[in-house]
Amino acid sequence: MNSRRRFLRRSALSALALSGVRPALASVRSAFSSPAPGGPVVISTWNHGVPANSAAWEILNKGGRSLDAVEAGVRVPEGDPTVSTVGYGGWPDRDGHVTLDACIMDEQDRCGSVAFLEGFKHPISIARRVMEKTPHVMLVGEGARQFALEEGFPEENLLTADAEKAWKEWLKDAKYKPVINIENHDTISMLALDKNGKMSGACTTSGMSWKMHGRVGDSPIIGAGLFVDNEVGGACATGVGEAVIRIVGSHMVVELMRQGNSPQQACQAAVERIIKKYPDFRDIQVGFLAMNMKGEYGAYAIHPGFNYAVKNQKVDNQLIDAKSKL
């Protein structure tokens, strides 16, 4: 009987091959095998990605899950009062409010997000609770605050003395013009690949300094500031969120990798798309960072000055200057 079953199975597969149905055969293979993992590896944006990577690596190096790693990693700059663009210590909007945005995405395509959230130091952890404990993807404003309180997160004042001083100094002129690579590197974005070949990502920010009250950028928007697909890889963005949203930037990078582009090529193509569609591109900074499931990574920006941190078994938390168009 077993011989008969093997014969019938071989005959069926041969018939499919002769009929040219190769995608079906590929699907059969992928259902019973997975690609060799390229991890563990963690990459993140800007120089505050170095201590963030160290925290993530403690989990990855012990065989931990990438989702736990990215949450732990970005919590570091979230809680650092000297980082003026993320979490506690973030510079306020033009009305003096520190409002935070964050999102997280795991290897199962699950995602969670919070936006326009005040009074909580670690929005990334609240975003994860949204993902794991609600039927929704995003909670904003007062609704996000209510959920955070119900989940036991402590509410506190995030406006530090240094941030308040900077805001009051800005109020003397009260003219808003983004400064490339200063007010625009407003994000810590991180991608991690664990030893089991599973990728997750996180993105968290206090947004642009002196923004209009209520403004939300790309950082908490799945597909714009962050996107992960475990068949392909992940991507994240930094810079002026309005430009990233217009092209759904991180999703675009992942889809370009799906088409066979390297992470570096995909990031460059996304930046060139922004340049094509954004007339004032010389006045803003946007950068993309990406990694595929082999653990290969790349980045590209409009202007020089964007850097990212990498840590794996061979690279010890190196800070790398991304290539740029200008």
* Burial track 236-260 (b if 16+ CB lie within 10 A, e otherwise): bbbbbbebbbebbbbbbbbbbbeee
* Cα distance between residue 298 and residue 293, in whole Å: 13
Catalytic residue among 187, 204, 205, 238: 187
- Prior bond to 40 cis, omega within 30? yes
DSSP β-bridge partners for residue 319: 309
Q: Name the token pair of 110.
A: 């699950």
DSSP state string for 166-227: HHHHHHTT------TTTTS--EEEEEEE-TTS-EEEEEEE--STTPPTT---STTSBTTTEE
| DSSP single-letter state for residue 303 | S
Q: What does the chain come to in residues?
A: 326
Q: Name the token pair of 45.
A: 């944006």
The yes-or-no answer on residue 160 being catalytic is: no
Q: How many helices (H) and strands (E) does the chain have?
A: 10, 13
DSSP β-bridge partners for residue 290: 235, 298
* Cα distance between residue 229 and residue 259, in whole Å: 13
Cα torsion angle, 220, 221, 226, 232, sign: positive
DSSP β-bridge partners for residue 286: 239
Q: Active-site positions?
A: 187
